[in-house]
């Protein structure tokens, strides 16, 4: 089992700064790097810090390419709860980056298989993902790879679990509005990234973070596969780290 680097920060804003340092270092070494982006509450302090640095002229996204982990099936990019909209509000509208340099699944695609092929092909044409940012779900999902009987390799459509829909209903007007399916990068797509940056904050993530990083490697805890990745950095706050042993 390979050991991740773990950086423990005191509060989410500090996590955002530590994670932004890692991205800034990558962008300065490789201005045309490919970054895998995550959505959800956890990476918001990171995006805030990236926007701050970009507006200050400390960071330039002009040549960076980005690829998003997942999107809700059935939501248009303009839908306020789509991940496309999230990325626009939290990052893209504030930075200078050509629109053709970022890709995200089309939630309304009626040919998802063709879209998945094109997605994987685009990542390959860009030379692969240099750094994949991940949050972690309470059930151990990464992207929208939900607990299951196997690790799904490629981009695919997934039925969201009741737990995930309940966790995400805070963004919608009730559970009925939360989509039941999503499009996601596969575990293989994620694991092919040269480096992984896993972010976690809050006591509610402590148990699953400990399970993912030191429990058995099993598709029941999808994030546990990260134990097999040679280059994982975990940036978390004290609360999320509190159940790690040793
Ligand atoms: P959260 O979501 O950051 O909103 O907790 C994480 C995830 O579901 O991957």
Residue-by-residue DSSP string for 191-203: HTSSEEEEEE-SG
Output the residue whose Cα is nearest ligand 1's atom 2: 40
* 41 within ligand 1 shell (Cβ under 6 A): yes
* 143 within ligand 1 shell (Cβ under 6 A): no
Q: Which residues contact 73 (CB under 8 A, 6 or more apart)?
A: 107, 112, 157, 179, 180, 181, 182, 183
Per-position pLDDT tens, the chain of length 246: 568 999 999 989 999 999 999 999 999 999 999 999 999 999 999 999 999 999 999 999 999 999 999 999 999 999 999 999 999 999 999 999 999 999 999 999 999 999 999 999 999 999 999 999 999 999 999 999 999 989 999 999 999 999 899 999 999 999 999 999 999 999 999 999 999 999 999 999 999 999 999 999 999 999 999 999 999 999 999 999 999 876
Q: Kindly give the distance from the C-alpha atom of residue 73 to the centroid of ligand 1, in angstroms, as a whole number.
A: 17
pTM confidence score: 0.96
Residues labelled as active-site residues:
70, 139, 141, 146
Q: Kindly give the distance from the C-alpha atom of residue 197 to the centroid of ligand 1, in angstroms, as a whole number.
A: 14
Distance from C-alpha of 187 to C-alpha of 217, rounded to nearest angstrom: 13
CA atoms within 13 A on the CB side of 189: 29
* 135 within ligand 1 shell (Cβ under 6 A): yes
Burial class (CB in 10 A: 0-12, 13-18, 19+), 210: middle
């Amino acid at each position: 089992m390979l050991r991740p680097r773990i950086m423990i920060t005191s509060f989410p804003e500090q996590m955002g700064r530590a994670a932004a340092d890692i991205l800034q270092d990558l962008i300065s070494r490789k201005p045309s790097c490919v970054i895998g982006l995550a959505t959800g509450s956890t990476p918001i302090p990171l995006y805030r810090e990236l926007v701050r640095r970009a507006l200050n002229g400390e960071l330039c996204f002009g040549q960076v390419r980005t690829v998003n982990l997942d999107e809700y099936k059935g939501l248009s990019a303009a839908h306020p709860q789509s991940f496309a909209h999230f990325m626009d509000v939290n990052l893209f509208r504030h930075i200078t980056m050509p629109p053709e340099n970022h890709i995200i699944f089309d939630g309304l695609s009626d040919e998802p298989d063709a879209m998945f092929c094109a997605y994987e092909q685009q990542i390959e044409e860009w030379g692969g993902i240099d750094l994949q940012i991940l949050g972690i779900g309470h059930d151990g999902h990464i992207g929208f790879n939900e607990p299951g009987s196997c690790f799904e390799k490629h981009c695919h459509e997934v039925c969201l679990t009741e737990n995930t829909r309940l966790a995400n209903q805070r963004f919608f007007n009730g559970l009925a509005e939360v989509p039941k399916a999503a499009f996601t990068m596969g575990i293989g797509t994620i694991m092919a990234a040269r480096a992984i940056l896993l972010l976690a904050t809050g006591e509610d993530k402590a148990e699953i973070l400990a399970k993912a990083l030191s429990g058995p490697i099993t598709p029941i805890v999808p994030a546990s596969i990260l134990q097999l990745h040679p280059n994982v950095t975990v940036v978390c706050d004290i609360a999320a780290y509190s159940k790690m042993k040793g």
